[in-house]
Amino acid sequence: MSTTAHEETLGFQTEVKQLLHLMIHSLYSNREIFLRELISNAADACDKLRYAALDNDALYEGDSELRIEIEHDEKAGTVTVRDNGIGMSRDEVIQNLGTIARSGTAEFLKQLSGEQQKDARLIGQFGVGFYSSFIVADEVTVRTRKAGSDKSEGVEWRSKGEGEFTVADLEREAHGTEIVLHLKKEAKEFADDFRLRSLVRKYSDHIEVPVRMPKVETAKDDEGNEIEGSEVTTWETVNEATALWVRPKSEVSDDEYKAFYKHVAHDFSDPLTWSHNKVEGKLEYTSLLYVPGRAPFDLYERDGSRGVKLYVQRVFIMDDAEQFLPLYLRFIKGVLDTRELSLNVSRELLQQDPKVEKIKGALTKRALDMLKKLAKDQEAYQTFWNTFGSVLKEGPAEDFANREKIAALLRFSTTHTDSATQDQSLADYVSRMKEGQEKIYYIVADGFNAAKSSPHLEIFRKKGIEVLLLHDRIDEWLMSHLNEFEGKRFVDVAKGELDLGEIEGEEEKKAQEETAKAKESLVKRVKEALGDAVQEVKVTHRLTDSPACVVLPEHEMGFQMRRIMEAAGQKMPEVKPILELNPTHALVERLEGAEGERFADLAQVLLDQAIIAEGGHLDDPAAYVKRLNTLLTT
């Protein structure tokens, strides 16, 4: 690092170097988005100054007409984007332009492959911001000064995107930021007036801050001829410069909604759907909510960004106002503009304001209704579910009031399709229930194959009863908070007594009782052989092909959840399973005829196999193998 009194050269953070490499080498097919990103950043800087000036009007320094200006020089091959927003101090320049201070960065960089198409999609999820400048520029100069600071505290930042940047002190009259892009030869098209104006209208028409460009006008004589030397340059506003969300829905096109989403979410891709709503009455607010098409990398990070942009009477207040949506809807992006809050509201005040809870309840219902409408398009909803389904499954535990609505939006794998794709709704399941069936049956396993192959499903397949196949890590926790749907109680087929209700006839139940009575002696012998390894041994009618299965008490935590808790370092109390035997299976018949040590070994092997079939782990696998080998060779 070289340093002078006023200038220093610093190295980029490692992640920035990788990001810049991707910008320069992989994204040339998406070059035009650089202007959208720089304008969005400039608009944010203007919003932040407007908010800060609520408490200190002097920050405007006599220039309260917030604006963004774009100039170009075809000869020099430069494009300049300028704003009179909040600006940056020297420390902020180094922090903001030298590092990526965003959750999910490490995960993002792990997935970069060097494949242009794939990396372009990934970076679209991440949001490129300022660094998109290097898609079109081989050198970038930034001049800035923090509003309210002395004119001598300006800063100039320069870099060619090759691993380091230079920061120097600068005397700067105007507050705000100016970015000069020295265009690459192959990007000189962007130093064209018509091209730049088209891009502003395409990507930034919805920005409330006016985006202005110079326009040369020439005076004309009475006959309409241009007067030489009479050229005058004026500034012309290129964009609509009206907050999109305050415009009537009928006046906003789908393309404008999509462009605004990309501004709000800093995303390349289009949203799946959106909901624009104005509420008047006791509460007055306007909301514009979006469902993204792709998940951000910080979706599962505790400190990840979430929430909507909050405005109060069109004055920007804060990004990521998470107080207005529950955590399980953290993927929702958008804008909330309200008259119900004061302009000096803070995150702390939001937590104490009862109006916030009312707006949160209303926005939650709006978001769930938006998803319900999206679900009518099966393909689009499947895209949503594959991306955000695991997050939505957090809903029943967090939001009791909307539990039924959330349940209707859930999707599962079932024995109806035997597909790992989670595309069946609970309403689909209920519509296919057998005559006399009063319960919704499900099974939880570590994976789809383990679920669909579970011995517990044998009687259900025989009877033609559909079972939900739950194989996400969150599923058992989900079901602990989801007791019923449309009056139908959920039942875990691997827990407690199996009761198929009216589906089983009286004769069938009587035959089961007689079989259980006939096998009382065998059951007693097996329990004595296994001792404390099991809570109970009984004859089962839930098996048709397997010799045995293990069952947990009805209200006991399942095997999957126990393993998750143990992996997290939680010590779990010992649970003894119930061993159920299939009296018609050849191995059980052989067990009944065995004696002494052979009987004990065979009983233990049946228990161990049943545990393995449920995805469980044996305390002593070597002993199991030894017993099995003995039985096979004698």
Q: How do residues 410-460 score in pLDDT, each as one tens digit? A: 999 999 998 899 999 999 999 999 988 999 999 999 889 989 999 999 999
Q: Which domain holds residue 148?
A: 7-233
- Do 221 and 102 lie in one domain? The reply is yes
Q: Find, among 210, 218, 209, the residue nearest to 235 by Cα.
A: 210
Cα distances (Å, whole numbers) of residue 198 to 58, 135, 143, 192, 453: 36, 19, 26, 10, 58
- Do 200 and 130 lie in one domain? The reply is yes
Whose structure tokens read 């059980």? 588
Q: How is residue 160 written in tokens? A: 């060619």
Q: Find, among 396, 460, 408, 404, the residue nearest to 434 by Cα.
A: 460
DSSP, residue by residue, 525-590: HHHHHHGGG-SEEEE-SS-SS-SEEEEB-TTSPPHHHHHHHHHTT------PPEEEE-TTSHHHHH
Per-residue pLDDT band at 106 (split at 50, 70, 90): very low
Which strands form 413-414's sheet, in the order they lie side by side?
A: 413-414, 467-470, 439-444, 488-492, 484-485
CB 212, CB 236: distance < 8 Å: yes
Check which CATH number belongs to the domain holding 167 and give it. Answer: 3.30.565.10
The answer to the question of residue 279 being in a domain is: yes
Segment 116-125 shows an average pLDDT of 43
Q: Provide the sign of the torsion angle of the four alpha carbons 506, 508, 509, 511, taken in this order.
A: positive
* Packing angle of the helix pair 33-52, 254-265 (nearest 10 deg): 70
3-state secondary structure of 144: strand
375 vs 384: CA distance, rounded Å = 9
Segment 146-174 shows an average pLDDT of 93
The answer to the question of residue 403 being in a domain is: no
> Pairing between strand 488-492 and 439-444?
parallel
Per-residue pLDDT band at 252 (split at 50, 70, 90): very high
Q: Which of 207, 233, 259 is the last residue of a domain?
A: 233
The answer to the question of residue 313 being in a domain is: yes
What is the average pLDDT score of the chain? 86
- Do 603 and 574 lie in one domain? The reply is yes
CB 499, CB 512: distance < 8 Å: no
Whose structure tokens read 């990526």? 100
- Do 538 and 458 lie in one domain? The reply is no
Q: Which of 180, 212, 233 is the last residue of a domain?
A: 233
Q: How do residues 493-516 score in pLDDT, each as one tens digit? A: 988 888 787 777 778 888 888 888
> Pairing between strand 308-312 and 333-338?
parallel
- Do 533 and 608 lie in one domain? The reply is yes
Q: Provide the sign of the torsion angle of the four alpha carbons 324, 329, 331, 332, taken in this order.
A: negative
Q: How do residues 465-478 score in pLDDT, each as one tens digit? A: 999 999 998 898 89
The answer to the question of residue 327 being in a domain is: yes
User: Considering the chain, what percentage of its residues have pLDDT values greater than 70?
Assistant: 88
Segment 308-319 shows an average pLDDT of 82
pLDDT on residue 276: 97
Q: How is residue 166 written in tokens? A: 């230079």
- Do 183 and 48 lie in one domain? The reply is yes
pLDDT on residue 212: 96
Task: Tell me the one-letter amino acid at 628.
Answer: L
The answer to the question of residue 446 being in a domain is: yes
Alpha helices, H only, 153-310: 193-204, 254-265
| Position 5 pLDDT exceeds 90 | no
22 vs 136: CA distance, rounded Å = 12
| Position 366 pLDDT exceeds 60 | yes
pLDDT on residue 117: 43
The answer to the question of residue 139 being in a domain is: yes
pLDDT on residue 88: 94
**3-state percent helix, strand, coil for the chain, nearest multiple of 5:** 45, 20, 35
Q: Which of 447, 472, 497 is the last residue of a domain?
A: 497
49 vs 52: CA distance, rounded Å = 5
Check which CATH number belongs to the domain holding 551 and give it. Answer: 1.20.120.790
268 vs 203: CA distance, rounded Å = 11
- Do 182 and 252 lie in one domain? The reply is no
Q: How is residue 408 written in tokens? A: 């209707």
3-state secondary structure of 134: helix
| Position 377 pLDDT exceeds 50 | yes
Cα distances (Å, whole numbers) of residue 574 to 184, 443, 548: 67, 22, 21
Check which CATH number belongs to the domain holding 272 and give it. Answer: 3.30.230.80
Count Cα neighbours of 361 within 13 Å in the Cβ-side half-sphere: 8
- Do 452 and 520 lie in one domain? The reply is no
- Do 475 and 600 lie in one domain? The reply is no
305 vs 298: CA distance, rounded Å = 7
- Do 375 and 434 lie in one domain? The reply is no
| Position 281 pLDDT exceeds 50 | yes
**In sequence order, what are the residues at sequence separation of 6 or more whose Cβ sits closer than 8 angstroms to the Cβ of residue 544?**
458, 459, 461, 462, 582
- Do 377 and 451 lie in one domain? The reply is no
Total domain count, the chain: 4
Q: Provide the sign of the torsion angle of the four alpha carbons 496, 498, 500, 504, taken in this order.
A: negative
CB 290, CB 334: distance < 8 Å: yes
| Cα–chain center distance at 539 | 46
Task: Tell me the one-letter amino acid at 19.
Answer: L
205 vs 203: CA distance, rounded Å = 6
| Position 40 pLDDT exceeds 80 | yes
248 vs 257: CA distance, rounded Å = 12
pLDDT on residue 119: 44
Q: What is the dihedral of CA 267, 34, 263, 167, to 10 degrees?
A: 100
| Position 462 pLDDT exceeds 70 | yes
CB 429, CB 466: distance < 8 Å: yes
| Position 120 pLDDT exceeds 50 | no
Q: How is residue 181 written in tokens? A: 């892009």
| Position 619 pLDDT exceeds 70 | yes
Nearest-5° Cα angle at 31, 30 to 37: 95
CB 168, CB 150: distance < 8 Å: no
Whose structure tokens read 């649970």? 575
Has this prediction a pTM greater than 0.85? no
236 vs 254: CA distance, rounded Å = 26
Segment 583-590 shows an average pLDDT of 91
The answer to the question of residue 614 being in a domain is: yes
Q: How is residue 143 written in tokens? A: 């001049």
* Packing angle of the helix pair 254-265, 193-204 (nearest 10 deg): 90
Q: How is residue 18 written in tokens? A: 């990788």
Beta bridge partners of 336: 287, 310
Per-residue pLDDT band at 592 (split at 50, 70, 90): confident
| Cα–chain center distance at 514 | 54
Per-residue pLDDT band at 123 (split at 50, 70, 90): very low
The answer to the question of residue 527 being in a domain is: yes
- Do 491 and 520 lie in one domain? The reply is no
